[in-house]
Structure 1
């Protein structure tokens, strides 16, 4: 369960609509408990006028889907080209520098062969425009971006192979090593040491544990936190760190089939949790979420781990912490998801999209234990090759 970030735009076709709906779910699953509603609510007439003014695009078709806190439209121009218009909520639009770094990062990765969305310049050459708009509750400033559209389906919706997951693990490491070359005077905005979703801040879950009262799984969460404090926190000082995507979940990776049951990644979405943090956190987050929709979740870790280590080999401390980091992310998702669902009951379906499988997976991994699961992951990793 992941809550918040930039969700995808809106598309007209059935397959594309499902893709964008999945991106919506990804955002809703990942939104932080402290968020305030600052949603833009432009109508189609306002949006059409805005696009024509900013981009000079002649619209042939425009469609929309509800969004958790942003507003998103699919734009089809007269040449049948598709674009995604993203209008950010006014709260996140306040941090223009952070949005600029996210936009820069997407473009930088695209230039280096990573299939990420990129922003289309306005008629005056801007990649993002801060627009003051009155949506009926007073004028507020919203960040507006027209983005490229990425075809494909979310990996959560596809019966991927283990070799596909190997490729995902490799891609995660490629993204992070590529971002080592990113240059900007504003990278300090990616330092977020107090973020509740950071895997270095697992103990912050304790402040929300009341939402688990009466659930036996609360004891598992408490035990994970306790072991994290004693076994992982002392090691974090030795973890390598840099800029990471921070949310490579199964709804933020788009794939297309290439035959024989295999897929290729055709899109990496949602850079709203871009952060400077430990590289092993990226690996743990990816493993945790890729397990959720997989029919054989225990087989996932080894495949992703093998792909990751084909680019970036883990240190001893990182290897020894991986199991608890994966469990830590599952605990964050479970607890913060329940908290947010209680706070925003009208969005409960989106927020708790992984609620059915997350607790079951957490319970199973805890019962099997660190020694067994780690042994399987690292033994399985040795069976993969870089095809």
Structure 2
């Protein structure tokens, strides 16, 4: 069965509204299944429904109610990955699973005629990365933490690991039908040019590179930093885009959010990637593709979010939160020489 889109994503959680539980309903669910009383407050989310749950003693958790359309095996994949990370590297700043009264990491909730998987995870304290000023030290810390996270997942296996996810860069070719929804002619042409280059340069090589299960979504909305030290990472969360893909794709996703806002756009990317390589070196062939893979991630962001914002205008501001920076990045990438970028990254990571 082909996963190339003919018009737009037509099924699955990407094209299905999120659940619609009320805070009071969630409070009852938590009391029944976890034995905890407290207050639930709705958080923003794209595909699922998330609540912050706080007990009278001040202990906080996140209650995650999974989109009913999501494959149960995929949900289990994410849950088992978090348990695996906790076992392999418990000092990583990622959420931990809170088990139910029956000692289960998750359970199925029946509501409004739908079946939804519910999980409770620990609340991570910190300031969202997108709210603070960026710095060299922060980018280096992010690179090192992502490398550690990848190492913790390196030996993780699951039957849903290779599930189809349009956010996986290796499926960028399937975005082409979505480009017609970009109304601005110049931007549509820019996106098309980058996709053409991806198909010619990156797509044939990606299947030959190292692969493993990766986080696949280290964007500024999924990272927390310490309130008193913005260079210290206190949280990496949201495993909803977890997938088995080329290892370098995970680096490219995160690097696409490290583009310097002024001056040389690649300064921040080099700092981030070199820090990653100091913990887990990339191979020369992987480094050679980073320019095109980073561009493909930004292309994925603008294509999918533009389409979803048209489909769900009531959630438009949340869906489009990363779109402006992605468009800016594509504009700035368009004037760069990919060969010079490759050489610069190789010098920073390989010392040549």
Q: TM-score, normalised by structure 2?
A: 0.88
Q: Is the 8 A contact 2:37 2:56 kept in 1?
A: yes
Q: Is the 8 A contact 1:365 1:373 kept in 2?
A: no
Structure 2 Cα separation of the partners of residues 258 and 371 of structure 1: 40
Q: Is the 8 A contact 1:244 1:276 kept in 2?
A: yes
TM-superposed CA distance for 1:223, in Å, is: 2.0
**How many pairs were matched up?**
339
Coordinate RMSD, CA, aligned: 2.4
Q: Is the 8 A contact 1:84 1:147 kept in 2?
A: yes
Call closer, same or farther: CA 1:341–1:376 in 2, change over 3 Å.
Answer: same
Out of 201, 204, 216, the residue aligned to residue 174 of structure 2 is 204
TM-superposed CA distance for 1:213, in Å, is: 4.8
Out of 83, 99, 112, the residue aligned to residue 107 of structure 1 is 83
Out of 312, 327, 347, the residue aligned to residue 280 of structure 2 is 312
1:113-128 equivalence runs, <5 A: 113-128=91-106
Which residue of structure 2 aligns with residue 96 of structure 1?
A: 72
Question: Relative contact order: is structure 1 or structure 2 higher (C-alpha 8 Å, sep ≥ 6)?
Answer: 1
Q: Deviations over 1:279-325 (max 9, x none)?
A: 11011111002338x55643211111111111222222212111011
Q: Deviations over 1:337-356 (max 9, x none)?
A: 21111111222212212333
Out of 179, 188, 191, the residue aligned to residue 153 of structure 2 is 179
Which residue of structure 2 aligns with residue 347 of structure 1?
A: 315
Out of 12, 18, 26, the residue aligned to residue 47 of structure 1 is 26
Q: TM-score, normalised by structure 1?
A: 0.80
TM-superposed CA distance for 1:178, in Å, is: 1.6
Partner of 1:176: helix, strand, or coil? Answer: helix
Call closer, same or farther: CA 1:36–1:357 in 2, change over 3 Å.
Answer: closer
Which residue of structure 2 aligns with residue 7 of structure 1?
A: none
Q: Is the 8 A contact 2:93 2:236 kept in 1?
A: yes
Gaps of 5+ in 2: 1-8
Which residue of structure 2 aligns with residue 57 of structure 1?
A: 36
Partner of 1:251: helix, strand, or coil? Answer: helix
Q: Deviations over 1:37-61 (max 9, x none)?
A: 35332333322221111111122x3
Partner of 2:324: helix, strand, or coil? Answer: coil
Matched, 1:159 2:118: no
Gaps of 5+ in 1: 1-31
Q: Deviations over 1:152-184 (max 9, x none)?
A: 01222122321221121121121112212325x
Structure 1 Cα separation of the partners of residues 33 and 262 of structure 2: 46
